[in-house]
A and B are shown apart, each in its own frame.
Chain A
Amino acid sequence: MDLLRDLLDKQVLDRKQVKIGKVDGLVAELRQGKPPRVVAVELGSITLARRLGSRPGRLMAWLAARFGGERHAEPHRIAWNKVRNIGVDVEVDVDVRRTGIFDWQDWLRDRVIGRIPGA
């Protein structure tokens, strides 16, 4: 499989088929004398900003930590052994509610959207 072509930027679905984001980055482990091995996929704004350059990456990490707390100072990672199926979408055996990925959407729902009548 060509990782950059067939995996990067694909839609990620969690165990309950919830759209939780895109494969924003891949984490590979360099091994002595052996080919590198993918250990995780990364999601979130910090990873995206890093793809634009190291400076946007640092800025986004600072912003995320500033507004989301230390928990959000690093990108969200999903271990490779949780990846179940790679088709049109990438399915992972994770429950998004047990991760911090939707923290900001939860905040938006609880503080803004959910307070508007009819939500």
Chain B
Amino acid sequence: MKKLLEISLGIVTSVGGFLEVGSMATAAQAGATFGFQLIWAILLGTICIIFLVEMAGRFAAVSGHTIADGIRERFGFNAFLWPLLATLLVNFMVMSAEIGGVSIAAELATGIGFQWWALPVAFLAWLFLWKGTFGFIEKGVAILGLVTLCFVVGAVMLEPDWRQVAAGAVPSLPGHDAASYWFMAVSILGASISPYLFMFYSSGAVEDHWDKTYLGTNRAIAGLGMSFGGTISLGVLIVAALVLGAHGINQVNDYHQLPLMLIPIFGFWGFVLLVASLAIACFGATLEIGLQQAYLVAQGFGWTWGEDLKPRNDPAFCGVYTLSLLLTAIPIALGLDPLKLTIFSMAVTAASLPLTVVPFLILLNDERYVGEHGNGMISNAAVILIVALGFVLAVVSIPLQILGGS
């Protein structure tokens, strides 16, 4: 019974935490421009993150290590620096985009320009981290995050042609705008396979003292939670494809176009739901990435860490998230376009994945860490193939996108 409760709670956490500015923006863009054609990218990304999250939990439960601990110990400090710096940089960009997402939601709700909201949002996030405990943040984000299910409800209410939806699950070549098609595919992969997500999950598993008895729970949470999460992204894409397309919008290049997505379905409440979804999903992600930055640095250097400690007992840990929040708010406060930043940082995430995922996979196949609970052939192959695909597409399409100038 207790396990069942834990599993449901874990699933709620993954669902509530899955959608963030990246998956929302990339799915909306893809739906508006290419209809259902890019659904396969969401599916591939979701399959990959299911495997990675399951591995992260299994690694933490069996070895007692977080991913950062494991990579540093197994590969040494010099090799650890590469994934460390890459992840810090990617997290920085994504966190800035999330703060931008909350700020846009605040702008939509109040009419006051988004750049004025960046610092207040960062301050509010800091206050949550400063005063909150891990459980409070995890569960708060999860339960409020369920509002994002409105996209799934909306998608079903629109009664899409499910055969066409299924056809989108098979990768196909674009009929137009090939460069932006592949760039969007990369951004979707980057948005689904967020390194902060599985690294955060391993820190959480260690904070909650998981051991081998949690392996089944972990498998259920990873599989079901991430699948439901992916379903929400799918909902966003379907809604965008049907609603935005019908209104003649086939390119989302401004956050102000987003409210239009839910209004035809839910009327005025559609506007409210969209603003709430955007604000909550991005705010939750800001908290999680802020924590993850602090976890990563503290674990990498062996400092005392834990969100449940008072700040004075882990000053360096708190210092990292305080500084991260302040610095990531600055680009948005200076007026950097949150949507452009979001899409770009998702593509960069996809490009950076091999640096974190490859050492991680080696750990998951190392008996000294995971004993008999090592990876199977299928999970290894699936993750390698999807991450390699994301990397190759990113390396090809990011320069094209920059040169193409959109």
Residues of A at the B interface (CB closer than 8 Å) are: 4, 8-12, 18-22, 24, 43, 48, 51-52, 88, 104-105, 108-109, 112-114, 116, 118-119
The 8 Å CB contact of B303, one of A9, A10, A105, A119, is A105
Contact A109 B315 (CB under 8 A): yes
Contact B312 A114 (CB under 8 A): yes
B130 at the interface (CB under 8 A from A): yes
A sample of 20 cross-chain residue pairs with beta-carbon separation below 8 angstroms, ordered by A number, consists of A4-B76, A11-B69, A11-B73, A18-B304, A22-B72, A43-B302, A48-B77, A51-B76, A51-B77, A52-B81, A88-B63, A108-B319, A109-B315, A112-B315, A113-B319, A113-B322, A114-B315, A118-B131, A118-B311, A119-B130
B340 at the interface (CB under 8 A from A): no
Q: Beyond A19-B305, A119-B130: 5 further Cβ-contacts under 8 Å? A: A9-B80, A10-B73, A18-B304, A104-B316, A105-B316
* Chain B neighbourhood of A119, CB < 8 A: 130, 310-312, 318
Nearest-neighbour CB distance to chain A for B75, whole angstroms, equals 8
Shortest Cβ distance from B126 into A: residue: A116
* Chain A neighbourhood of B322, CB < 8 A: 113
* Chain A neighbourhood of B72, CB < 8 A: 9, 22
* Chain A neighbourhood of B318, CB < 8 A: 113, 119
Q: How far is the CA of A114 from the CA of B301 in the complex (A)?
A: 22
Shortest Cβ distance from A87 into B: residue: B64
Within 8 A of A (CB), among B13-58: none
* Chain A neighbourhood of B63, CB < 8 A: 88
Shortest Cβ distance from B63 into A: residue: A88
Nearest-neighbour CB distance to chain B for A108, whole angstroms, equals 4
The 8 Å CB contact of A21, one of B81, B301, B315, is B301
Nearest-neighbour CB distance to chain B for A109, whole angstroms, equals 4
* Chain B neighbourhood of A112, CB < 8 A: 315, 319
Q: How far is the CA of A10 from the CA of B63 in the complex (A)?
A: 13
Within 8 A of A (CB), among B285-305: 301-305
Contact A8 B76 (CB under 8 A): yes
Contact B78 A52 (CB under 8 A): yes
Contact B302 A11 (CB under 8 A): yes
* Chain B neighbourhood of A118, CB < 8 A: 130-131, 311
Contact B78 A51 (CB under 8 A): yes
Q: How far is the CA of A10 from the CA of B81 in the complex (A)?
A: 15
Contact A116 B77 (CB under 8 A): no
Q: How far is the CA of A104 from the CA of B316 in the complex (A)?
A: 9
Within 8 A of A (CB), among B318-348: 318-319, 322
Contact B311 A116 (CB under 8 A): yes
Q: How far is the CA of A48 from the CA of B64 in the complex (A)?
A: 24
